[in-house]
Structure 1
């Protein structure tokens, strides 16, 4: 875990592509977020159990258990159901977005991410000011 400040928002990034993981981690680190990393759903579940994040970013096209299955699982657990989850995807189709919201995501961001607006988008989700 990287730790710019103890009270900075803790974000779990669940992404199986190393280049995408590196980009998101570097960007969030520069903007003062604390970061946890998971490369698959099972790893994410272990991390969440021991260190619940303030926000979760999930690639919906994970290998093994896909991202939307992970979201559904987290939203049925009383310990994790209130953690905001944002879907990250390269699939910009309306049905994919609808599926993400139906699974329980509070947000949907299409890759490649906009590096200028991405950190402020996450802060909006954390403050509860974001709307679909």
Structure 2
């Protein structure tokens, strides 16, 4: 069985690299992007099994991207996990309303990241 493909959308290079290293070590195929430019088309081409996305991105924010992905028939089934430094419930509620399936706070806990990804990728 081929490894699941995970797309990390994170503008902070250190955060992006940490998540990539953890997921690579667990055997996932990891793609990354530093912002949301062209993300909808990229997702249609690369077909990730799961997306980890920061809420605060340059240019277009994570909530807008989630809404775009969930509005498109080709991408709506991809689970999206928000990663953010926000700890208040309001952004979490907005992210769930937009269509994300989980919410991880930064700094990311490697164990929780891997548990969340494994749970969401069970088929």
Q: TM-score, normalised by structure 2?
A: 0.95
Task: Give CA-to-partner distance per residue, 1:7-56, whole Å, 9 cap, x none.
Answer: 11100000001010000001100011101111111143342121110000
User: 1:29-68 maps to which residues of 2 (within 5 A)?
Assistant: 29-68=24-63
Alpha-carbon distance, 1:80 to partner: 0.2
Secondary structure, aligned partner of 2:32: strand
Describe the SS at the equivalent of 2:66: helix
**Partner in structure 2 of residue 71 of structure 1:** 66
- What residue in structure 1 maps to residue 107 of structure 2? 112
RMSD: 1.3
Superposed CA deviations along residues 70-93 of structure 1, whole A, max 9, x for unmatched, are 000000000000000001100010
Partner of 2:80: 85
CA contact (8 A) 2:79 2:100 kept: yes
Question: Helix, strand or coil for the counterpart of 2:108?
Answer: coil
Note the C-alpha offset of 1:64: 0.5
Uncovered stretches (5+) of structure 2, i.e. residues with no partner: none
Taking the aligned partners of 2:44 and 2:11, their CA distance within structure 1 comes to 20
Which SS does the other structure have where 1:11 is aligned?
strand
Where relative contact order (Cα < 8 A, 6+ residues apart) is larger, the structure is 2
Question: 2:2 aligned with 1:7, yes or no?
Answer: yes
Number of residue equivalences = 123
